Homo-oligomer: A and B are copies of this chain.
Amino acid sequence: MIRKAALLLACTLYAPHALAQETLSGRYSLTLTVGGTTLYGALELEQKGDSLTGKYRGDDLTGTRQGNQLTFTARNKEGDRAEVRLTLKGRTLTGSETQFDASNHGTTWLQIAVVAEPVQIPASATPRRHEFSPTVFHRAFSAENKPVLTIAPGDVVHTRTVDAAGVDEKNVARSLGGNPETGPFYVAGVLPGDTLAIHIVKLSLNRDWAISDDYLVRDAVNPGLAVIMKDAGKTIHWHLDRARGIATPEKPDVHLGKYAVPLRPMLGCVAVAPPPAFAAPNTGDSGFYGGNMDFNEITEGSTVYLQARVPGGLVYIGDGHAVMGDGELNGNGLETSMDVEFRVEVLTNQPTPSPRVENERQIMALGYEGSLNEALRTATSNMQRWLASDYALNPSEAAQVIGTAAHIRVTEAADRNAGVALILDKDVLKTLTK
């Protein structure tokens, strides 16, 4: 069983825009501590006289303020309610939450300590440019890794990623292998329920070699092909000719003597941290938080949309490939180090159920699940929600657009989750009436 305790695990999805003046109205970052675990959420308060309304961890709240004392009740759709008492000290609200499960059995529940701090998206007067040289690399997409840098929405970060084996642009191993990541980057003002738009401003190779192999992954071979491939598995070194824009094997087999594949640098991993109550995924995994998506369209000029689950979002990047066939059927792309410039924008209170990617020509809804069939379902559902929220389409309209215009690509077949992208051309979307 894993579904229960949903009440405690649920992270806030919605929170409003800040209005604060004299009142306590505004947007707060919630930190809850329960049984040694930290949970995050968002609190939106609207104070009128002594009356409080708003959202607490995604649920509507009503309550009152008496001086420095705030008490309110939040209810979810199932009829469970949370009663919250907070005390104002400085600008911080501190107190506790008591849960009343509609289906409680007389259980004595854990204490939930609550701290609420006001947050604001920094006024983006002048976006900054950060030069960040990583010294530590992470092998899990964890909410508990210390941020390496705090950035404001709109800032540009220039940094570097090591290759999947941990080797940098100078040929020096900087980490144990397994997609070690650069980051996490903390985006100021971001709360759970906001979506980060991570724009890949620049993505360039910074060395002239990559490794891959001649293996085919489990998801690509039937029993007959498994027998044919039984002796494969050797490492292949590739020369990256940045001047000519091609990759060639360093010691090619006979029929590959002149084989050349165009360079197309991409990032195998872009992620935000999942909530800390969810054990940190290893950097080969993927899901709602992005992660090791290995999607061939996460290239220079693309934007990756991921919903923040913790304050600051905590952005990770890594696993650069000089070029990769769809699905990463070797289990490796052309693994290499990269120079990366990215910029993060924030879509406040806009949840994104599953990763999305956009470039000049297309919008791409991704699904990552245990099989390609489930991944297609998640991708289609992701696109239907995108069309509903951003294009106002009802379910019938969304189905007509998807049925007439979708491109469907397999993005990932090498890792634990399989990935599928459901893609629509912007030229077609332009004809929609908003």
Question: Which of A's residues lie within 8 Å of B, judged by CB?
Answer: 1-5, 8-9, 34-37, 78, 101-103, 105-110, 139-140, 142, 164-167, 171-179, 209, 211-216, 218-237, 247, 249, 253-262, 268, 277-285, 292, 294, 319, 321, 323-335, 369-374, 376-378, 380-381, 384, 391-397, 399-410, 413-418, 420, 428, 431-434
B178 pairs with A277, CB closer than 8 A: yes
Q: Which residues on the B side are within 8 Å of A324 (C-beta)?
A: 403-404
Residue of B whose beta carbon sits closest to that of A384: B225
CB A407 to nearest CB in B, in angstroms, measures: 5
A contact patch SS? loop
A325 pairs with B420, CB closer than 8 A: no
A103 pairs with B400, CB closer than 8 A: no
B4 pairs with A377, CB closer than 8 A: no
Residue of B whose beta carbon sits closest to that of A400: B214
Q: Which residues on the B side are within 8 Å of A261 (C-beta)?
A: 404-405, 428, 431
CB A405 to nearest CB in B, in angstroms, measures: 5
Contact for A406 among B34, B325, B334, B381, CB less than 8 A: B325
B414 pairs with A1, CB closer than 8 A: yes
A232 pairs with B395, CB closer than 8 A: yes
B332 pairs with A403, CB closer than 8 A: yes
A107 pairs with B326, CB closer than 8 A: no
Q: Which residues on the B side are within 8 Å of A432 (C-beta)?
A: 255-256, 258-259
Provide a sorted-by-A list of 24 A–B residue pairs whose CB atoms are within 8 angstroms.
A1-B179, A1-B268, A2-B292, A2-B414, A3-B213, A3-B215, A3-B331, A4-B332, A5-B176, A9-B176, A105-B237, A107-B171, A139-B279, A212-B403, A216-B402, A220-B380, A220-B402, A232-B395, A253-B397, A254-B397, A255-B393, A323-B404, A325-B404, A330-B404
B397 pairs with A255, CB closer than 8 A: yes
Q: Which residues on the B side are within 8 Å of A78 (C-beta)?
A: 233-234
Residue of B whose beta carbon sits closest to that of A101: B235
B164 pairs with A4, CB closer than 8 A: yes
A232 pairs with B399, CB closer than 8 A: yes
Q: Which residues on the B side are within 8 Å of A216 (C-beta)?
A: 380, 399, 402-403
Please report the C-alpha to C-alpha distance between residue A234 and residue B142 in the assembled complex, in whole angstroms.
32
B406 pairs with A326, CB closer than 8 A: yes
Please report the C-alpha to C-alpha distance between residue A36 and residue B3 in the assembled complex, in whole angstroms.
34
A105 pairs with B236, CB closer than 8 A: no
B234 pairs with A329, CB closer than 8 A: no
B4 pairs with A165, CB closer than 8 A: yes
CB A418 to nearest CB in B, in angstroms, measures: 7
CB A232 to nearest CB in B, in angstroms, measures: 5
Contact for A1 among B140, B237, B328, CB less than 8 A: B328
Please report the C-alpha to C-alpha distance between residue A220 and residue B380 in the assembled complex, in whole angstroms.
6
Please report the C-alpha to C-alpha distance between residue A51 and residue B416 in the assembled complex, in whole angstroms.
44
Contact for A8 among B177, B253, B283, B373, CB less than 8 A: B177
Given contacts A35-B176, A212-B404, A408-B327, contact A283 B2 (CB under 8 A): yes
B172 pairs with A107, CB closer than 8 A: yes
B176 pairs with A8, CB closer than 8 A: yes
Contact for A433 among B177, B256, B370, CB less than 8 A: B256
Please report the C-alpha to C-alpha distance between residue A408 and residue B411 in the assembled complex, in whole angstroms.
8
Kindly name the residue among A172, A209, A220, A381 whose own CB sees the greatest number of chain B CB atoms within 10 A: A220
Given contacts A35-B175, A102-B235, A173-B109, contact A399 B326 (CB under 8 A): no
Please report the C-alpha to C-alpha distance between residue A418 and residue B418 in the assembled complex, in whole angstroms.
15
A164 pairs with B5, CB closer than 8 A: yes
Residue of B whose beta carbon sits closest to that of A246: B431
Q: Which residues on the B side are within 8 Å of A283 (C-beta)?
A: 2, 279
Residue of B whose beta carbon sits closest to that of A318: B1
